[in-house]
Amino acid sequence: MMKIALASGKGGTGKTTVATNLAYVASRNGQSVAYLDCDVEEPNGHIFLKPEITSSKPVGNLIPRVDEEKCTLCGKCGEICQYSAIVCVGQKVLVYPELCHACGGCLLVCPEDAITEVPREMGVLETGRAGPIRFVHGLLNVGEAMSPPVIKAVKAAAPEVELVITDAPPGTSCPVIESVRDCDFVLLVTEPTPFGLNDLKLAVEMVRALKLPFGVLINRADVGDRAVHRYCRDERIKVLAEIPDDRKVAEAYSRGELICEALPDYAALFAGLLKAVTEEVMGGQPTSFGSVRG
C-alpha cells in the first residue's frame, strides 16, 4: 500500500481538485485506490467523485465522567490535564467535553477510581464507492472545536488497496499533521501568489519537521511572478507538476466535474504526476511530467 497525502498551507489552491483527479487516473490505470477526505470541517471531494454512500456511523472520543460519591476532591485530575478539560472548583469537579483530548490521564491518576470514560459523538464517518474508487470521508459536528478524532476515524477506515490518497485540511495545524503523519509522500499544492508563497513556506517547515518526503505542484502556474519557482529552486524542492490558469478548468470545477472527465487532455498531466510521485516514493528519479497549456 502506498499512501499519498495532498496538503496546502492555505485553502483554495486546488488541493481537492488534484487529489480527486489523481484518484481517477489511478483507477483508470487499473490500480485499486481509496480516496480519504480528511478535511472533515468542510469535505468537498464528494462533489467531484459523486460516491454512493453505503455506510454511515457516528464517531467521537471518550470523555471522563466523575462519580461524586467516590470523589474526594483531591484535584489530581485537574493537575494532570493540560487543557483544563476537567477542574476541581470548590466542592465539585467540572468536566468540559469540548476541551477533552481523550488522553485518559485523569482516569489513571484518580486515587479513588472515581472516574470512568463515556463515549461522546463528535461527527459522522461515511464510506462508499465512486465507481472503482473506494471513498471515505468524515463530517465534524457543527460547533466542535477539535477535528483530529474524526480524522483518525477516517484514516482507520481506509480499505486495503494499492494506493491511498489522503486529502488533508488546509493549513499547518494539528488536523493537517494528523492527516499526513504516516503517509509515504506529501504533495504540497500551491499557487504563484504572495499568500501562496508565504503559506507554502509554512507547509514546507511542517513536513520537514515531520521528516516526510514531499514535492510541490503549482496550480495556475502561468500567472503572477516566479517567486514560488525561485523559492523551490533555492530550497532544492522538486516541482513535480504545473497546472496552467485555464478558464475551462475553472468552469469544470464550478460544475462539480472532474478535470480529467471534462477535459480529457489533462489526463496525461495527472498520469504523469502520479508516475512522478510513485517514483519519488520508490526512490527513483521522477520523469518529466505531462503539461497542458491552455
| C-alpha to C-alpha distance for 207 and 274, rounded to whole angstroms | 20
pLDDT of the residue at 224? 78
pLDDT tens profile 182-208: 999 999 999 999 999 999 999 999 999
Per-residue pLDDT of the chain (294 residues), as tens digits, is 899 999 998 888 999 999 999 999 999 999 999 999 999 999 999 999 999 999 999 999 999 999 999 999 999 999 999 999 999 999 999 999 999 999 999 999 999 999 999 999 999 999 999 999 999 999 999 989 899 999 999 999 999 999 999 999 999 999 999 999 999 999 999 999 999 999 999 999 999 999 999 999 999 998 878 999 999 999 999 999 999 999 999 999 999 999 999 999 999 999 999 999 999 998 854 333 333 433
Sorted by where each starts, the structural domains of the chain and their CATH numbers stand as 2-31+162-282 (3.40.50.300), 61-121 (3.30.70.20)
Mean of per-residue pLDDT scores for the chain? 93
Check: CB of residue 280 under 8 Å from CB of residue 213: yes
> Measured between alpha carbons, how far is 254 from 242 in angstroms, rounded to an integer?
20
- Dihedral, CA atoms, 78, 83, 85, 89, nearest 10 degrees? 40
Residues 43, 9: Cα–Cα separation, whole Å: 17
pLDDT in tens, 48-98: 999 999 999 999 999 999 999 999 999 999 999 999 999 999 999 999 999
pLDDT of 93 reads 96
What would the grid cell of residue 161 be?
A: 488497496
Q: Which of 184, 141, 185 lies closest to 40 in space, CA to CA?
A: 141
Quote the pLDDT of residue 229.
Answer: 95
